[in-house]
């Protein structure tokens, strides 16, 4: 494939899960140019779920992609887990992983077990996660019912997690607000939303394809979620305590990244 000079989105081009995992999730350190963004996200999800303050019966991971590290952190605290993604290739990849025909991200899972001081080994934690995954479904956060016509259609969840999804799925800030509303409709009042994403970013690359990412600042992000009925419990950014990436690179042009824990207000 020749080098791609035009930005595209996931609706236009098939996502390649194996290339994505190879580029971004082979090691915790990741690419030098990307700084500590992966470690920042992993530490955030571990800290959010480690104490058991966020728990419940049903968890939904929105935009899992081929990388189930986010529900891996949450699994000990939930009875049933649903993974979801827009890409059929990612859904197929996740099913193969759950069935044991694909093995990947070993260093990522091992790091999460290490920092969690878990009494279980990595394989035991992975087995627990796979047992609790009750559905792997297609989702589209731009739709009013993001998981319609699936086994979990109409289900309201106790918690929702998401990593690097809404900012990629949306084409502008107005779309992002709609996606937040659509996501919120799947979360019960008092339920927790735990998510991370890039800030001030316009693209990221998978192989030779450059995917669009909406440019959103930390202040805009905070304002949107507060207006959409969320109480922000914590909002951290990469540049405060971790090594930032080096301006625009081959991989992306993000300037910062965030990790947020919020609670849907009860009316």
> Is residue 56 in some structural domain?
yes
Give the per-residue pLDDT at 247.
Answer: 67
> Is residue 169 in some structural domain?
yes
Does residue 5 carry a pLDDT above 70?
Answer: no
pLDDT digits 0-9 by tens, 220-248: 999 999 999 999 999 999 999 887 666 67
Give the per-residue pLDDT at 4.
Answer: 47
The residue-averaged pLDDT of 126-141 equals 97
The residue-averaged pLDDT of 204-225 equals 94
Which two three-digit tokens encode residue 27?
């090691």
Does residue 145 carry a pLDDT above 60?
Answer: yes
The percentage of the chain sitting over the pLDDT mark of 70, rounded to a whole number, equals 93
Does residue 126 carry a pLDDT above 70?
Answer: yes
Distance CA 62, CA 217 (A): 21
Give the per-residue pLDDT at 1.
Answer: 36
State how many domains the chain has: 1
Residue 257 is part of a domain; what is its CATH number? 3.40.50.150
What contacts 24+ positions apart, CB below 8 Å, involve 101-104? Answer: 104/21, 104/25, 104/66
Query: Which stretch of 20-34, 44-58, 201-215 has the lowest confidence by average pLDDT?
Result: 20-34
In 133-265, alpha helices (H): 166-169, 173-184, 218-227, 238-241
CA-wise closest residue to 254 among 216, 210, 208: 216
Give the per-residue pLDDT at 118.
Answer: 81
Give the per-residue pLDDT at 2.
Answer: 39
Give the per-residue pLDDT at 13.
Answer: 67
For the chain, how many residues are written? 267
> Is residue 6 in some structural domain?
no
Which two three-digit tokens encode residue 63?
């935009």
Domain span holding position 23: 17-264
- Higher confidence at residue 243 or residue 44? 44
Tell me the backbone φ, ψ of residue 162, rounded to 5 degrees.
-160, 140
The percentage of the chain sitting over the pLDDT mark of 90, rounded to a whole number, equals 75
* pLDDT band, residue 208 (cuts 50/70/90): confident
> Is residue 11 in some structural domain?
no
| Mean of per-residue pLDDT scores for the chain | 91
Give the per-residue pLDDT at 196.
Answer: 97
> Is residue 58 in some structural domain?
yes
> Is residue 3 in some structural domain?
no
The residue-averaged pLDDT of 101-128 equals 93
> Is residue 123 in some structural domain?
yes
Does residue 77 carry a pLDDT above 60?
Answer: yes
Give the predicted TM-score (pTM) of the model.
Answer: 0.93
Does residue 91 carry a pLDDT above 60?
Answer: yes
Does residue 31 carry a pLDDT above 50?
Answer: yes
> Is residue 63 in some structural domain?
yes
């Amino acid at each position: 494939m020749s080098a791609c000079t035009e930005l595209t989105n996931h609706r236009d081009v098939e996502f390649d899960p194996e290339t994505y995992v190879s580029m971004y999730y082979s090691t915790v350190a990741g690419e030098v140019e990307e700084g500590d963004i992966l470690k920042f996200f992993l530490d955030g999800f571990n800290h959010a779920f480690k104490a058991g303050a966020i728990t419940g019966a049903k968890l939904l991971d929105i935009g899992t992609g081929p990388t189930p590290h986010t529900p891996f952190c949450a699994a000990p605290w939930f009875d049933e887990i649903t993974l979801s993604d827009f890409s059929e290739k990612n859904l197929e990849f996740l099913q193969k992983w759950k069935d044991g025909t694909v093995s990947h991200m070993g260093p990522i899972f091992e790091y999460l077990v290490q920092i969690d001081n878990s009494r279980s080994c990595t394989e035991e934690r992975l087995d627990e996660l796979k047992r609790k995954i009750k559905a792997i479904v297609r989702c589209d956060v731009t739709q009013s019912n993001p998981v319609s016509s699936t086994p979990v259609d109409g289900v309201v969840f106790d918690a929702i997690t998401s990593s690097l999804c809404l900012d990629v799925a949306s084409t502008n800030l107005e779309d992002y607000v709609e996606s937040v509303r659509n996501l919120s409709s799947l979360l019960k009042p008092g339920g927790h939303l735990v998510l991370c994403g890039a800030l001030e970013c316009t693209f990221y690359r998978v192989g030779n394809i450059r995917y669009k990412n909406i440019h959103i600042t930390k202040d805009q992000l905070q304002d949107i979620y507060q207006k959409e009925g969320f109480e922000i419990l914590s909002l951290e950014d990469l540049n405060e305590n971790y090594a930032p990436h080096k301006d625009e690179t081959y991989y992306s042009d993000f300037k910062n990244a965030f990790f947020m824990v919020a609670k849907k207000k009860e009316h």
